[in-house]
């Protein structure tokens, strides 16, 4: 008897699941967004849906007046606002980068595990590079 009761409960659960899936599937996404959609009304009653609030004034003002027809996906990046560096400025920038690199090297040399790792990398690079060809 218990076995038949379990089968009946499973059949009812399956029937309700199928009915719910059909009801959700029958309502398209566009229909769900409409204010008078039965699905949306039911979801509002259950607390799962809400109406979108009106946008703030600053949002309305920042939006374009006319809806654009095409939104480009890959726009080229804007040109940089800064002018091109002169040779003197470029040399100063390279000098700054070199000084930062030297400072990092001294810190790295003071830290034994880092010095060991750098030495191992140089040894591996020496192994991989072919010997110079004699002429």
What's the confidence (pLDDT) of residue 36?
Answer: 65
pTM beyond 0.75: no
pLDDT digits (tens, 9 = 90+) for 9-41: 888 888 888 777 767 665 555 554 555 688 888
Residues belonging to the chain: 135
Indicate the SS3 state at residue 5: helix
Cα separations in angstroms, 62 against 53, 56, 58, 65, 69? 17, 10, 6, 9, 18
Q: What is the 3-state secondary structure (H, E, C) of 27-77?
A: CCHHHHHCCCCHHHHHHHHHCCCCCCCCCCHHHHHHCCCCCCCCCCCCCCC
């Amino acid at each position: 008897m218990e076995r038949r009761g379990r089968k009946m409960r499973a059949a009812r659960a399956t029937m309700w699941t199928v009915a719910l899936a059909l009801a959700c599937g029958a309502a398209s996404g566009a229909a769900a967004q409409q204010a008078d959609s039965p699905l949306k009304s039911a979801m509002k009653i259950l607390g799962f849906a809400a109406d979108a609030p009106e946008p703030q004034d600053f949002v309305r003002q920042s939006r374009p007046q006319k809806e654009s027809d095409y939104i480009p996906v890959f726009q080229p990046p804007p040109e940089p606002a800064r002018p091109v560096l002169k040779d003197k400025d470029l040399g100063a920038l390279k000098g700054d980068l070199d000084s930062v690199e030297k400072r990092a090297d001294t810190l790295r040399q003071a830290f034994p595990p880092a010095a060991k790792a750098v030495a191992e990398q140089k040894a591996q690079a020496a192994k991989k590079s072919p010997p110079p060809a004699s002429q």
